Every structure is written in structure tokens, then in C-alpha cells.
Amino acid sequence: MNRREFIKLQAAAIVGAAVFPGNPGILLAADTPDIAVVKGKPAAATKAAVDLLGGMSAFVKPGQKVVIKPNMSFTSDIESGCNTHPEVVRTLLAMCLEAGASSVLVLDHAFQSGTRSLELSGILDACDSIVRGTCRNLTHERYYRDISLEGAKEMRRNAFMKDVLDADVLIASPVAKTNSSTGVSLSLKGQMGLILDRNIMHWRYDLDTSLIDLCEVIRPALSVIDASRVLSTNGPYGPGKVLTPGEVIASADPVAADAMAIASYEWYGRRIKPRQVGHVSQAHARGLGRMDIENLTVRRITL
């Protein structure tokens, strides 16, 4: 071992000791958990959760194009729990740029054109504070490309955002909330905001199955679930009962991330299991990820 290698190893140990006193090797790659759960302020918890998974450089390489998909489709404020906390999105944007991304876009297909929902959510200002113009609501068909979904069981065609199809890395950053159609809305369900025609999934196809058809095409490389607030009833629009766990859940596996959120909080006033959510169960069965979180490595910290 040369001097440079020793210094790097020593630095890693110091970082590990700062996060996990008494266990300095905890952040080494061999110990990377499947799921990270961090309790703390949204920005700090987001950074710590991603760092536990190896840091943003484990997902974003220099020169890559990145798309971050938060919830920012609802004309509601931060306290409502309908949209992702702006500090979660701001932190992810900054981390991607620090990792060397050539471009980062924060995208959604809101229920109305313009920027009103982006403004009320606080996400537009949060992104503009880092780089102006990165946060966009794409509603016009010119931003979409029609493609066929190979191997689909229900939805065999739809138009996807061109920027998403052309991106190297997709990051899901949903807020944890209920949904009247799918039970919950998390990493997997949130991908519906990246296609042109969502309505067809409700009236022509089985929603849970077509949702997984969609995720076969655009599976997030990283899921960071904002559970600083959880809209536990009357989602996705609210108003409803808002829980305040003050947590962020992160995983390279969107199914595992969703399963962890489902198992961690009350939904509609009761506890449910991941297998009880149709699209999560189907995603597990189709190999998009794992919902058996009892067999995965979960690391929790409180800041």
C-alpha cells in the first residue's frame, strides 16, 4: 500500500466514524446496504441516504445526462404532502452536478400547463437556486416520442418524454402518499408523470399491470423517497391526514424502496404489507426488484 492509498483509506475511515461512531468501516463499498433510511432534516437526510448507498458517484458518472422525477404536479404547498419536498430535490440536483453530470433536468407532466404547480411546490425556486431552467413541466406532445413497449402485458405503446429516453440516469424522487387508484404512490407509480397519455392506463388497461409495463422501459437507477411528510389519506390530491416521520428512504432498487415505505408507515389508518399493493407485487414477480425487504440489508441512522 503506497502513501496515497493509505491516506484515502484513512479518510474513508474518518467519514465512516463520523456517521457511525465505533464502526469506521461501515461506509466501505462491501457494506453498502440495499436500503438506506435516514431521519433528519430533508436536505441532510437526502444526502446521508445517498451517501450510505455509495454516494451519487455510484449512480452518476462524469458527462452523463440525468433526469430527476419528483412529484410536482399538484397546486399545493409543502405542508400538504402532495409534492416532493423542495430541499430533497435541490439536494439531489446539487449532488448530480457535483458527481460530474453534463446535464440534469427535473421533469414532470403536471395536470395543467405552465409553472403554477412547480412554483407552489417550492421546487422551481429550489432548482433555480442551483441552475436556472432545469425544472420543467412538459405537457406538449412535441416533448414526447412514441415507442413500443417490448414484452408488455397490457400497454404496448405510449409516448415517453424524449429527455427521459435520451438520459443516461433516471432518479425517482417521489413524496410518500396514498393514491385512490393504486393504493400508494411512490417510486414506481411516479413514473406515470413521464408519459404523454396517462388516462389510457386508467380506462383501457389494468392500471397495475400497465404501470409495470411502463417501468420496464424507464426503471429508475436510484429511488429517493421523501417521507419527511406522508399523505396517509385522500391522496394524491389531498387534503388528507399528513404524518411527519421526518425520513428519507433510498435504494438502487425502486421496488425495495417502495416496499420499505409501505411497511414503514400507516396507510388509510392501518398497516399494510408490500405484497398487498398490486403494482409492487407485480414488479417483484416480473423481476424489476425485490419487495421481500425482510431478506434485504437495511441501514437506519438518525442525524
0.95 exceeded by pTM: no
pLDDT score of 30:
52
Q: Tell me: cis bond preceding 239? Omega within 30 of 0 counts.
A: yes
Which pLDDT tens digit goes with each residue over 237-261? 999 999 999 999 999 999 999 999 9
d(CA 297, CA 287): 18
Query: H or E segment at 234?
Result: none
Query: Which parts of the chain sit beneath pLDDT 70?
Result: 1-30
Strand partners, 144: 161
Amino acid at 156: R
Q: How open is the CA angle 294-273-179, to the nearest 5 degrees?
A: 130
Residue 103 grid coordinates: 446535464
134: left (phi over 0), alpha (psi -120 to 50) or beta: alpha
Strand partners, 205: none
Burial code (b: 16+ CB inside 10 Å, e: under 16) for 137-174 equals bbeeeebbbeeebeebebbeebebbebbbebbbbbbbb
d(CA 286, CA 276): 16
Bridge-based pairing of strands 65-70 and 169-173 is: parallel
The number of residues in the chain equals 303
Which pLDDT tens digit goes with each residue over 41-74? 999 999 999 999 999 999 999 999 999 999 999 9
Cα-Cα-Cα-Cα dihedral of 205, 209, 212, 214, to 10°? -10
d(CA 177, CA 9): 41
Burial of 221 by CB count in 10 Å (0-12 exposed, 13-18 middle, 19+ buried)? middle
Amino acid at 140: H
d(CA 81, CA 225): 12
pLDDT score of 31:
84
* Helix-strand-coil split of the chain, %, nearest 5: 40, 20, 40
Q: Which of the 8 DSSP states describes residue 273?
A: -
Taking the alpha carbons at both ends of the chain, their separation in whole angstroms is: 34
Q: How open is the CA angle 203-209-215, to the nearest 5 degrees?
A: 110
d(CA 235, CA 177): 6
d(CA 200, CA 11): 52
Backbone angles phi, psi at 117, to 5 degrees: -65, -35
Residue 94 grid coordinates: 446539487
